[in-house]
Amino acid sequence: MNIKITECPRDAMQGIHGFIPTEVKAEYINLLLQVGFDTIDFGSFVSPKAIPQLQDTAEVLKKLELSNTKSKLLAIIANYRGAEDAVKHGEIAYLGYPFSISETFQLRNTNTTIAQAFENVQRINELCGKNGKQLLVYLSMGFGNPYGDEWNTGIIEHWAEKITAEGIKNIALADTIGIADAAQIGSIYPNLCRLFPDAEFGIHLHSTPDSWQPKITAAYESGCKRFDTALKGYGGCPMAKDDLTGNIATENLISYLKTQSEPTGLNMDKFTEAMDYSGRVFV
């Protein structure tokens, strides 16, 4: 399978106000584990005051059936303390850290400046190395921001250079609020791949239901091999702004890849089961 899909139930759930029972979360993620996604973004080790919905991540992890899946687990962390909690769990392969190139959003999301956040990246990457984990850094607000903070491609390249210099090979451009357009994606992504050939650049797009296809097309045609999506397009970052802009729907990405004769290697029977079960999760 050339294309890697990261299914993001964590992102889909985090902004839901009513608490989703731990058993329901675990059963849903167990279905997703059987589909065959490359990675499952399953939970986060962050302050329960910040994201109450995910306060039971460790309990969910205990209920996951991992003996018969090829999917790797990804957990989001927002600081070193969260990383210390996450690396205790041998089942987790990736730690994901949201590094914003918007100062305002970095402060809103992790209560740190960009400079402090990069120090976190360095320390967390060292911790990951000692514990057999890989660090995935999200360049959040990677296509602009709603705050008036400076944005240009030079800023993206600057931070990509500093992050890859730390030996970090997993980076995802994150459109946290759904403002990216196809032209941006088609110009930024190939240039990063050319400048930093040893890194794998994924893409984490948020989108309205009617604007996803040009973005996915641009990413795919630019050579993107790793896509973050969520079933039915649920999700969004509650720290970014008041209105949540959902993820790209996984079923839409699969449909697009089918038109390109791109194999996914997914178990579509289990995918259908997960789609059906999602109605119990997102009510």
Note the pLDDT tens digit of each residue in 34-51: 999 999 999 999 999 989
Whether the CB-CB separation of 203 and 171 falls below 8 Å is answered with no
Give the pTM.
0.94
139 CB-near residues (< 8 Å, 6+ apart):
99, 100, 101, 156, 159, 160, 171, 172, 173, 174
Residue 241: pLDDT band with limits 50, 70, 90: very low
Tell me what pLDDT residue 208 has: 79
All structural domains of the chain, each given as residue ranges with its CATH number in brackets, are 4-281 (3.20.20.70)
Whole-angstrom Cα distance, residue 48 to residue 225?
33
Answer yes or no: is pLDDT of 256 > 80.
yes
141-to-19, 102, 104, 183, 275 alpha-carbon distances in Å: 27, 6, 10, 16, 29
* Phi (first) and psi of residue 203, to 5 degrees: -140, 135
- Bridge partners of 92, per DSSP, are 73
Q: Averaged over 78-86, what is the pLDDT?
A: 97
Helix (H) or strand (E) holding 171: strand 170-175
Q: Averaged over 214-233, what is the pLDDT?
A: 95
Helix (H) or strand (E) holding 74: strand 72-77
The crossing angle, in degrees rounded to 10, of helices 268-281 and 22-35 is 160
Tell me what pLDDT residue 105 has: 94
Tell me what pLDDT residue 238 has: 42
Q: What is the pLDDT of residues 127-152, one digit of tens each?
A: 999 999 999 999 999 999 999 999 99
Q: Averaged over 74-102, what is the pLDDT?
A: 97
Q: Averaged over 90-94, what is the pLDDT?
A: 98
Q: Averaged over 258-277, what is the pLDDT?
A: 96
Residue 236: pLDDT band with limits 50, 70, 90: low
Whole-angstrom Cα distance, residue 132 to residue 249?
31
Tell me what pLDDT residue 173 has: 96
Residue 2: pLDDT band with limits 50, 70, 90: confident
Q: Which residue type occupies 185? A: I
| % of the chain beyond a pLDDT of 90 | 87
Q: What is the pLDDT of residues 51-72, one digit of tens each?
A: 999 999 999 999 999 999 999 9
Q: Which of 81-85, 120-124, 198-202, 279-283 has the lowest mean pLDDT?
A: 279-283
In eight-state DSSP terms, residue 238 is T
Report the mean per-residue pLDDT for the chain: 93
Whether the CB-CB separation of 68 and 35 falls below 8 Å is answered with no
Q: What is the pLDDT of residues 161-189, one digit of tens each?
A: 999 999 999 999 999 788 999 999 999 99
Residue in 188, 226, 220 with CA at minimum distance from that of residue 204? 226
Q: Averaged over 198-204, what is the pLDDT?
A: 96
Q: Averaged over 2-16, what is the pLDDT?
A: 94
Whole-angstrom Cα distance, residue 246 to residue 114?
25
* Phi (first) and psi of residue 129, to 5 degrees: -60, -35
Give the up-direction half-sphere exposure of residue 117: CA atoms within 13 A in the CB hemisphere.
28
